[in-house]
Chains A and B, each alone.
Chain A
């Protein structure tokens, strides 16, 4: 493990920090082993230490300063406070998950289903006392904007569920049948593959808005791609990015999605299109970015 600490601490403060941490680790190891072992494997000690640092809110790879280190307080007290905070976060995470499961879009996807089901195990296995930084469950369903790996433990789970809720809220703003049609266009088997459901619907809505069409219909014809290509012709990457941001903001209005978190999330997701749009100098290339949806008479208003 190659964690590093950087920060402008005096030698005396650094030694004080190390001594306090050592003492705290002594207590933690004794608790973990039930007093049965005075020594533990280094790998276990590393995990216990990472958990301690996470609980104390100390990022071993980040800049340290005296405020963060709280050298005046007893670290055991800080650890207890940290653990209480984590328990509250766990309750919050569970609530988020519960609400999401109740409000889930009817669109089916095995990895989404399995991931949500898998959180059952997380609530039971999450160990805030000794392994607070770990995420004891499989999170397979990929978000449009993945949670950074720097988030640990319950913090990661909260952020993941928050983002997934945003995606779900967006998907539910459309008729399920229209979403299905888009997904069937983008993916061979959207139900069985490890794919993200939100991106194709967002991109299709974006295409509709670029064309001045009703975004709720999620309808893009083959001929529309020429119009879209012209919209981006000659634009620099920054101009493409700004245009996409503006379009994403606009498309949320007819969907009555006013939460700025939804808009920001979608703008971040759309940002990934910039290099692909920039490279798309033909309709053929643009087809890899925006897909024309087949004309389904049953979905006509």
Chain B
């Protein structure tokens, strides 16, 4: 038996997912958004997969509740694309957590994502990912020269 097998996250149990779903829906229902049990299971499966892909491991409950809290009032999310958008945002979260070299806390990254999604990207996940968050990550990694930093839009740091 490998001791490190205990570090492979097999995900939440169905019961804990049910509790998580209820907790998430309590936040989002007032905005006409909610998740079914099947949808929360899909999000959870994707969380486990993304963690593996990004070489990360999670001991807490995950960030889906925080993501929902940050994005549920976005004018660019509707009930029809709620699940897919959350999955994509969750993916982006873990990816850019890694890309920013752990320099951003969970809350800081989610705040940046929400600001970028609603203001810069105007609901475009590809713009959020390929332009805005790439830029933020590069700033965090110290990848810009002083001149380049001065040319950056001050709004990027508003979050």
On chain B, the residues within 8 Å of A30 by CB distance are 59-60
Beyond A6-B1, A42-B55, whether A21 also contacts B6 by CB under 8 A is yes
User: Contact between B4 and A41 (Cβ–Cβ < 8 Å)?
Assistant: no
Which of these binds chain B: A32-40, A104-112, A190-198, A223-231?
A32-40
Contacts A26-B59, A29-B59, A45-B7 given; does A37 touch B97 at CB 8 Å = yes
Q: Mark B57-85, 1 if CB is under 8 A from A, else 0.
A: 11111110000000000000000000000
* Complex-state Cα separation, A60 to B7, whole angstroms: 14
Q: Least Cβ distance of B140 to chain A in Å?
A: 14
The answer to whether B3 and A5 touch across the interface, beta carbons within 8 angstroms, is yes
Within 8 A of B (CB), among A16-35: 18, 21-22, 25-26, 29-30, 33
Do residues B4 and A49 form an inter-chain contact, with CB atoms below 8 A?
Answer: yes
Which residues of B in the span 1-48 have a Cβ within 8 Å of any Cβ on A? 1-7
Assess whether A37 is in contact with B105, with CB atoms less than 8 Å apart: yes
Most chain A beta-carbon contacts within 10 A, residue among B61, B63, B105, B107: B105
Shortest CB distance A291–B (Å):
49
> Does B132 sit at the interface, judged by CB under 8 A?
no
Is A1 an interface residue, CB under 8 A from the partner?
A: yes
Q: Does B102 contact A (CB under 8 A)?
A: yes
CA A29 to CA B98, docked complex, whole Å? 16
When distances are taken between beta carbons in the complex, the residues of chain B under 8 Å from A5 are 1-3
Chain B interface mostly:
mixed
Contact A49 B3 (CB under 8 A): yes
Cα A84 to Cα B89 with chains together (Å): 43
Answer whether A36 and B106 are a contact pair too, CB < 8 Å, given A41-B56, A45-B57.
yes
A43 to B55, CA, bound (A): 8
CB neighbours (8 Å) of A3 from chain B are 2-4
Q: Are A38 and B62 in contact (CB under 8 A)?
A: yes
Partner among A2, A4, A18, A42 whose Cβ is within 8 Å of the Cβ of B57: A42
Shortest distance from the beta carbon of B113 to any chain A beta carbon, whole Å: 15
Which bracket fits the contact residues of B? 20 to 34
- Pairwise interchain contact B3-A26, C-beta atoms closer than 8 A: no
Assess the A39–B55 pair: CB atoms within 8 A: no
Residue A172 at the chain B interface, CB threshold 8 Å? no
B59 nearest CB neighbor, chain A only: A26
Does A14 reach chain B (CB closer than 8 Å)? yes
**Chain B residues, Cβ within 8 Å of A175:** none
Contacts of B58 in A (CB 8 A): 38-39
Residue A99, interface by CB 8 Å: no
Q: How far is the CA of A41 from the CA of B61 in the complex (A)?
A: 16
List CB contacts (< 8 Å) of B82-117 with chain A: 94, 97-98, 102, 105-107
A46 contacts B by Cβ under 8 Å = yes
Give chain B nearest CB distance to A37 CB in angstroms: 5
Q: How far is the CA of A25 from the CA of B98 in the complex (A)?
A: 20
27 chain-A/chain-B pairs, Cβ below 8 angstroms: A2-B2, A3-B4, A4-B1, A4-B2, A4-B3, A5-B3, A21-B3, A21-B6, A25-B7, A29-B60, A36-B106, A36-B107, A37-B97, A37-B105, A38-B59, A38-B62, A38-B63, A39-B97, A40-B57, A41-B102, A42-B55, A42-B56, A45-B57, A46-B4, A46-B7, A53-B3, A60-B3
Supplied contacts A3-B3, A45-B57, 6 more A-B pairs, CB within 8 Å: A5-B3, A14-B1, A30-B59, A38-B106, A40-B57, A49-B3
